Chain A
Amino acid sequence: GAGVSQTPSNKVTEKGKYVELRCDPISGHTALYWYRQSLGQGPEFLIYFQGTGAADDSGLPNDRFFAVRPEGSVSTLKIQRTERGDSAVYLCASSFGGSGVTDTQYFGPGTRLTVL
């Protein structure tokens, strides 16, 4: 079956611009996570959705970052006034959402964001 997909696979933008990154989770998965991975580091949690609502956004670094999931399926991560330090691979994961801590998270291939 189809896994988690993310678009675009690569995004190059200029400092100060606005970008949107899209995540299509596995059909039927109610939980959705965004992570960010800098070069040579492990992924870092950004935000977690259960259904349409953001249940935990404690990992968002500042108010330039915002994410939505209006219909409980597709999610968009939005970054305003991008900075060079935002350059990273942005990973999306989804899980069934039924058992929380033991749910397997399925990751997408990521979007590589480069801010010039």
Chain B
Amino acid sequence: DAKTTQPNSMESNEEEPVHLPCNHSTISGTDYIHWYRQLPSQGPEYVIHGLTSNVNNRMASLAIAEDRKSSTLILHRATLRDAAVYYCILNAAGGTSYGKLTFGQGTILTVHP
């Protein structure tokens, strides 16, 4: 499976934008890029996913590099509720890894008031 690399931790101030990077230099053409986050004492929750084009939803934006070897999750205005562990995950279409999520260590995001 292709691997992802994320910083261990990042900090932000409330109401400021946050850019969470993810490197995936061995990504294959059929790998989707998914982001999940896990708030303290909760199960992970879906944030966003994409394949090649940048994506926006009500929670965040996903910017994907043209060569797809990296991506950035963008929280436009961080709130205290956004403090969580953010996981960048590659999910390959087809094969035995159908739907299975392989989590790494993720990035611990701290948001300061």
Residues of A near any B CB (own CB < 8 A): 4, 31, 33, 35, 41-45, 48, 55-56, 58-59, 91, 93, 95, 97, 100-110
Are A101 and B101 CB-contacts (below 8 A) given A91-B43, A110-B43? no
A-chain residues with CB within 8 Å of residue B85 when the two chains form the complex: 42
A-B contact count (CB 8 A): 70
B24-54 CB contacts (< 8 Å) to partner A: 32, 36, 41-46, 49
> Closest CB-CB distance, B28 to chain A, in whole Å?
12
Known: A33-B99, A45-B100. A106 touches B46 (CB 8 A): yes
Q: Are A100 and B49 neighbours in the complex by a CB distance under 8 Å? A: no
List the 4 closest A-B pairs by CB distance, nearest first: A107-B43, A42-B103, A101-B93, A104-B46
Distance (Å) between the CB of B99 and the closest chain A CB? 5
Residue contact A43 to B103, C-beta cutoff 8 Å? yes
Contact: A100 with B98, CB < 8 Å?
yes
A-B contact pairs, 11 of them (CB 8 A): A45-B102, A48-B98, A56-B100, A59-B100, A93-B43, A95-B99, A101-B92, A104-B46, A106-B45, A107-B42, A107-B43
